[in-house]
Amino acid sequence: MPPLGRGRSTVTPRRVISHEAAVAGAVRYFLRHGTVDLDELATGLAVSRATLYRVVHSREQLLGYVLWTLCELRLNAARAARTRDGVDGVLEVTRHFAAGLPQAHALITFVTTETELADRVMYSTAGVVHPRVVAAQREIFLEAGCGPPAGPDVDLDRLAYLYTRMAEAALYAGLLYERSDLGAPEKALRALLTEVWPDPPD
């Protein structure tokens, strides 16, 4: 008999998983199912449910990172597709982003089947998604040449917040009813921006 502590251990070492790997796995799961089940995700990642919770903290927070990952990809594509500058360029990015939403089937499933949770995850100011979208919108203003704002009383961060809130309301309705046309909301968004950056004279 080998001395105590010298034999082969029968305890399986705990598998370590990074937050990034957990989110990547959750994104794959979400794209297939339109939701995230932590038990099934833990099994797919070959970790215990307790380990997964230690890494992601909660299902709601994990969904926030999943949705931001997908949102960031779509936003980056919309920003790359911009062809104009100024207010028209800002609105063009929003239009490109909206145009792809009817094909976001997993997101539509999530919004229509877990509406209250989706609302918290996507639009809470304390969540993962909303603050990052506001920060990205501020960058879009600058990329399109809309900055610094005209007038000392205009806060670019506040303007990005207001623009984002208005766009979110329109896009959320679009998700629920599978519409991509901004229509009247775009006029309101343009009015908000032209208060700060008036249209140049012809």
Could you report the per-residue pLDDT of 132-179, keeping only the tens digit for each?
999 999 999 999 998 776 666 678 999 999 999 999 988 887 676 655
Whether residue 97 sits in one domain with residue 183? yes
Note the helical H segments in 124-196.
129-143, 156-177, 184-196
> Positive or negative CA dihedral for 122, 123, 127, 133?
positive
Instruction: Say whether pLDDT at 100 is over 60.
Output: yes
> 68 pLDDT exceeds 70?
yes
Residue 45, domain extent: 14-57
- Decide: 128 and 61 in contact? Cβ < 8 Å: yes
* Residue 96 sits in the same domain as residue 19: no
Q: Cα separation of 114 and 35, whole Å?
A: 9
> Is 4 a domain residue?
no
| Cβ atoms of 174 and 98 closer than 8 Å | yes
Which pLDDT belongs to residue 151?
60
66 shares a domain with 29: no
pTM over 0.75: yes
The answer on 152 and 66 residing in a single domain is yes
- Tell me if 6 is assigned to some domain: no
Cis peptide before 131 (omega within 30 of 0): no
**pLDDT computed for residue 10 by the predictor:** 45
